A = this chain, B = another copy of it.
Amino acid sequence: MHYSFAPQTKNYASSAVRDILKVTQQGHVISFAGGLPAEDIFPIEQVKIAYEKVFASGNSSLQYGLTEGFVPLRDAIKAKMADRGISSTVDNILVTTGSQQAIDLFSRIMLTPGDVILTEDPTYLAALQVFRSYGANVISVSSDEDGMLPEDLKEKLETWSPKFVYVIPTFANPDGKVWSDERRRKLLSLCQENNVLILEDDPYGDIQFHPEEQYCPVASFDYDHRHVIYTSTFSKSVVPALRTGWVTGPSEVINMMVQAKQMNDLHSSSIDQQALYYLLRDFNLASHIDLIRSVYYERMTIMRDYLNKLGPDLFKWKEPKGGMFIWVEGNEHLNTTALLNQAVEKGVAFVPGAPFYVNEPKNNTFRLNFSHSTPETIELGMDRLISVLLKPEVVK
Contact = CB atoms under 8 A, between A and B. Distances in A.
Nearest to A48: B55
A377 interface: no
A9 B267 contact: no
Contacts of A315: none
B36 A62 contact: no
Contacts of A42: 59, 62-63
A260 B108 contact: no
A381 interface: no
Contacts of A17: 262, 266
Contact of A269 (B22, B110, B269): B269
A174 to B, nearest CB: 17
Interface stretch (A83-91, A125-133, A206-214): A125-133
Contacts of A182: none
Interface in A185-229: 195, 197, 226-227
Task: Output the residue of A51, A64, A130, A268 with the most chain B CB within 10 A.
Answer: A64
Interface string A94-110: 00111011001000111
Nearest to A235: B64
Nearest to A96: B265
Contacts of A101: 264-265
Task: Output the residue of A21, A96, A111 with the most chain B CB within 10 A.
Answer: A21
A266 B126 contact: yes
Interface string A1-27: 111111111001001011001100100
B264 A21 contact: no
A315 to B, nearest CB: 28
Interface residues of A, number: 83
A165 to B, nearest CB: 14
B64 A55 contact: no
Contacts of A253: 3
B272 A271 contact: yes
Interface string A101-141: 10010001111100100000000001001100100000000
A180 interface: no
A7 B126 CA distance: 24
A5 B110 contact: yes
A288 interface: no
A242 interface: yes
Interface string A59-74: 1111111110000000
Contacts of A9: 109, 256, 259-260
A56 to B, nearest CB: 9
A243 interface: yes
Contacts of A52: 48
B126 A262 contact: yes
A33 interface: no
Contact of A21 (B2, B66, B197, B263): B66
A64 B34 contact: yes
A44 interface: yes
A129 B262 CA distance: 10
A382 interface: no
Interface string A37-48: 101101010011
Report, nearest first, the 4 A-B pairs whose CB atoms are least far apart.
A97-B265, A62-B239, A48-B55, A101-B265
Interface of A: 1-9, 12, 15, 17-18, 21-22, 25, 34, 36-37, 39-40, 42, 44, 47-48, 51-52, 55, 58-67, 96-98, 100-101, 104, 108-112, 115, 126, 129-130, 133, 163, 195, 197, 226-227, 235, 239-243, 250, 252-253, 256, 258-260, 262-272
